Amino acid sequence: MKKNILITGGAGFIGSHVVRLFVNKYPKYKIINLDALTYAGNLENLSDLEDSDNYSFVKADINDQEVLEKIFRTYDITDVIHLAAESHVDRSIHDPLAFVKTNIIGTVNLLNVAKSYWKEDLSKHLFYHISTDEVYGSLGRDGLFTESTAYDPNSPYSASKASSDHFVRAYNETYGLQVVISNCSNNYGPNQFPEKLIPLFIHNIKERKSLPVYGDGQYTRDWLYVVDHARAIDLVFHDGKKGATYNIGGFNEWTNLDLIHVLCKKMDQKLGREPGSSAALITYVIDRPGHDKRYAIDATKINKELNWSPSLQFEEGLEKTIDWYLENADWLENITSGSYVEYYKKQYKSE
Ligand code: NAD
Ligand code: DAU
């Protein structure tokens, strides 16, 4: 069947890698990238696709029902891969309503438009919702998040994502909309906005600015290279069981401090600086309120059912990421000279 796939949030970090994979791998599909181009959306992320025949970009907000209806009609949308979201935990602490608006109301708006446009035969269409491991809350020293772990979100961001997951599932149960959900761990790689740990610290080391470590730095995250997440999304979209959830993770846990030390060492080498000079920038700052102690994904289900596993070792992925940021200084410069500067001052109470 010919597919006209609406990918929301395609100008953001993960979305841009998903759009690129689908446009290049599936020339017969038409990919429509819908993005509001908030501070996190950047069309520079997709400049290599501008001339592709099977790719279109539409600037729109998922809260705008009329515009969404028009897009569904104009492109005869057959499937949705929904990534558009407010995605940064610290911002959600400053402004929870922005997260309610996009992540919950925006998602329900999109579900309504899809359900209505596909009403003749819901079985022919798929609404794929991209979510996060943060919906499961925080782990202690042991254990892993599985698909049956109870939801227990702690931040306004994770609460909004949990709510959107529930709505997606409810549209499946109540209206018969075909859905699939995946919950992924921390992504890293090219094009990530420098408010998230890895790109922020790469940028600050370059600029010899302090590295703000929250609390004691003994928080654990499970890191996955973004292209491996995009590969997983491709598999779940095509072969995932309808109505199911898939956890996606890197089998790759690091405490923040251990990760930061590896990053500092690599940055010293890449920048030809004295060993230890990046680590000397580490500064312990006040902790994130409600900071989740540990995330770790059990990705056995997607591994067994869809034969997915991460392709890159962490150190290799980190090297590629650092190289990309150093080679794309303009990308970072364009971003950090914009509204991000105001956010940085507010978050870190700095100059
Ligand atoms: P991002 O912040 O880099 O990108 C989000 C994109 O959504 C941006 O391009 C932005 O312009 C767009 N957007 C925001 N509000 C919109 C609106 N109202 N209408 C239309 N577009 C809007 O986020 P990301 O890190 O790429 O995350 C993408 C998705 O993956 C999110 O749903 C996030 O919850 C989820 N996720 C992220 C991670 C991670 O580590 N980054 C891990 C698991 C899941
Ligand atoms: O687990 C998936 C989630 O990963 C995604 O759903 C989110 O969209 C994504 O932002 C990410 O959330 P985190 O809160 O884990 O990522 P962040 O990069 O903000 O922080 C990673 C860890 O580093 C976390 O323990 C907080 C810490 N940190 C972060 C920043 C920005 C610091 O110590 N200092 C910082 O300045």
pLDDT digits (tens, 9 = 90+) for 210-244: 999 999 999 999 999 999 999 999 999 999 999 99
Instruction: Confirm if 279 and 213 have CB atoms less than 8 A apart.
Output: no
Instruction: Confirm if 118 and 125 have CB atoms less than 8 A apart.
Output: yes
Spatial separation of the C-alpha atoms in residues 212 and 215, rounded to whole Å: 9
Query: At residue 190, what are phi and psi to the nearest 5 degrees?
Result: -60, 150
Catalytic residue among 133, 165, 234, 253: 133
- For 14-30, write each residue's pLDDT tens digit: 999 999 999 999 999 99
- Read off the tokens for 154: 């702690």
Indicate the top mutation candidate among 86, 88, 89 to test ligand 2's pocket, ranked by most ligand atoms within 8 A of CB: 89
- Do 130 and 160 fall within a single domain? yes
Partners of 74 in the β-ladder: none
- Do 172 and 65 fall within a single domain? yes
Q: What is the model's pLDDT at position 180? A: 98
Which 8-state DSSP code applies to residue 126?
E
- Do 10 and 71 fall within a single domain? yes
**Any idea what the CATH number is for the domain that residue 338 is in?**
3.90.25.10
Q: 3-class DSSP state for residue 26?
A: coil
Averaged pLDDT, 87-104: 98
Give residue 80's pLDDT band: very low, low, confident or very high (50, 70, 90).
very high
Nearest protein Cα to ligand 2, atom 4 = 186
- Do 244 and 149 fall within a single domain? yes
What ligand is nearest to the CA atom of residue 188?
1
- Per the structure, the count of domains in the chain is 2
Q: 3-class DSSP state for residue 254?
A: strand
Q: What is the model's pLDDT at position 338? A: 75
Active site residue 48: no
Averaged pLDDT, 317-322: 97
Spatial separation of the C-alpha atoms in residues 106 and 64, rounded to whole Å: 8
Q: What is the model's pLDDT at position 342? A: 83
Q: What is the model's pLDDT at position 222? A: 98
Averaged pLDDT, 90-103: 98
User: Ligand 1: distance of its center to the CA of 246 in Å?
Assistant: 18
- Do 66 and 202 fall within a single domain? no
- Do 239 and 111 fall within a single domain? yes
- Do 284 and 152 fall within a single domain? no
- Do 60 and 25 fall within a single domain? yes
Is the dihedral angle over the CA atoms 60, 45, 164, 307 positive or is it negative? positive
Ligand 1: nearest atom to the Cα of 37: 11
Task: Kindly state if the Cβ of 348 falls inside 6 Å of ligand 2.
Answer: no
Give residue 334's pLDDT band: very low, low, confident or very high (50, 70, 90).
confident
Query: At residue 219, what are phi and psi to the nearest 5 degrees?
Result: -100, 145
- Do 21 and 133 fall within a single domain? yes
Nearest protein Cα to ligand 2, atom 3 = 186
Give residue 351's pLDDT band: very low, low, confident or very high (50, 70, 90).
low
- For 148-161, write each residue's pLDDT tens digit: 999 999 999 999 99
Task: Kindly state if the Cβ of 270 falls inside 6 Å of ligand 2.
Answer: no
How far is it between the farthest Cα atoms of the chain? 66
Question: Has residue 301 been placed in a domain?
Answer: no
Q: What is the model's pLDDT at position 344? A: 84
- Do 240 and 279 fall within a single domain? no
- Do 140 and 160 fall within a single domain? yes
Spatial separation of the C-alpha atoms in residues 197 and 186, rounded to whole Å: 10
Q: What is the model's pLDDT at position 166? A: 98
Averaged pLDDT, 134-155: 97
- Do 232 and 244 fall within a single domain? yes
Residue numbers of the domain that contains 270: 197-220+255-293+314-347
Q: What is the model's pLDDT at position 341? A: 81
Indicate the top mutation candidate among 93, 136, 183, 221 to test ligand 2's pocket, ranked by most ligand atoms within 8 A of CB: 221
Spatial separation of the C-alpha atoms in residues 148 and 103, rounded to whole Å: 22
